[in-house]
Amino acid sequence: MQIPQQLLSSLDGLKDYDEKSFLDVHSSGQHVTSLRVNPSKPADVLFGNVEPAPVQTSVPWSRYGRYLDTRPSFTFDPLFHAGCYYVQEASSMFLEQALTQTTDLSKPLRVLDVSAAPGGKSTHLQSLISSDSLLVSNDVIRARANILKDNMIRWGGSNVMVTFNDPGDFSRLESFFDVIVIDAPCSGSGLFRREPDAINEWSEASVRLCSLRQQRILADVYPALKQDGILIYSTCSYSTEEDEDVVDQLTADYDLQSLPIACDPGWGITEVITPRGAHAYRFWPYKLKGEGFFIAAFKKISGAGEPFRKTRKKAATLTAAETARVLAWCQQRDVAFVRHEQTVYAWREEMAYDMNFLLQNLRVIYSGVLVGELKHDKLVPDHALAMSSLAGNNIPRVDLDHASAIRYLQRKDLVISGTATGWHLVCYKGQELGWANILPNRINNYYPKEVRIMKDKE
């Protein structure tokens, strides 16, 4: 692996930087495999079908993080598709410490993840905030936002809104958010070990361009953070132009107070103090079990508190008869059912006003839980309902073995004997995978085409 000499020279003199160790770890061929379990979908055993099963150890800075000593085929693990865990780089899980040490998570919060795709940090945030908090997960590119939507649906949260907006669109939501997370687009040098092809894309010009983009994103979203709100900034770059320099620009241009994050010395994380006195944290891959990462947290010490919110129109609701049809599929858990044409969504009642407000001010592609579509006096349930905790306990379930679960996830024909006809939740080891409609002479597989397993075998 040929690390650009310009990058190596730029790192000289940084705290805890050692060029030999840096080069050695990148040429070692070692890869760290880590995942984060979903606390709302606890599985008794992960990788029970793998022999021998990977050994799991804890990521020290995340209660949900796990290292694996080998990398199994996640694609052919039904529990991955059930949303029981998310495969995520361990260093980036330090977001958990940045959030839990700066924010009262017992309170209802409005949280914005600005550059959220494919969903690692958003699924993490959703696991950390309270159920009556609202998470807005955004990506500026529609195709990436669609992947983000699929991952948020798989995770199963009902307090999430997925949007595809330019960061500048959030400036009109003045003082709306309690927490804003910016995992900024960067030159990617921290991921060279995991993504060697990124080396060919790296250049000093790219670093400068990314730094300017990062500063623009921060300027765009800053008005949306309320007074005493928390801003968390991170990159997967080693370059000071994208890290310490941006942090110092933040404290120079905005009324932000840098916040320290306590780290156990055994974690191997490097705390740095920038020239302007801000606290920031670097992850060197030869000092810890993870990739290159940088993070800093701030509190906004001026501005408005609770925002002024005014909606132009109310969300469309259901008739009494339509509500009865929907409730036949759902556990009523303090949700409001709203509709867009024939499509029904479930919003938590305490955040329905906020969701409607955002729906009128942002480009929204998903919100709450998509329950299904009303057709001919019936409800056709959506995959999102199956993946959520809203699906009713009265709905029959069928648990498949591993081979049958893979066939289901490939959207192939199924053979299920001794089961009554009608709609069923298809499960694997008690975890829901999606819907099937069992008819007298066939089974209709309703697993979504866009997320099906495309490969025939491992």
Q: Could you give the C-alpha distances from 434 to 41, 328, 330, 382, in angstroms and in order? A: 14, 17, 15, 9
Polymer length of the chain: 458
- What is the dihedral sign for C-alpha 325, 329, 335, 339? negative
d(CA 91, CA 289): 8
- Number of neighbouring beta carbons within 10 Å of residue 301: 12
3-state per-residue secondary structure call for 189-218: HHHCCCCCCHHHHCCHHHHHHHHHHHHHHH
Largest CA distance in the chain: 72
Does an H or E element contain 352, and which? helix 352-359
Phi, psi of 147 (to 5 degrees): -65, -40
Q: What angle do CA 41, 44, 406 make, to 5 degrees?
A: 75
d(CA 87, CA 188): 18
| Catalytic sites, residue numbers | 236
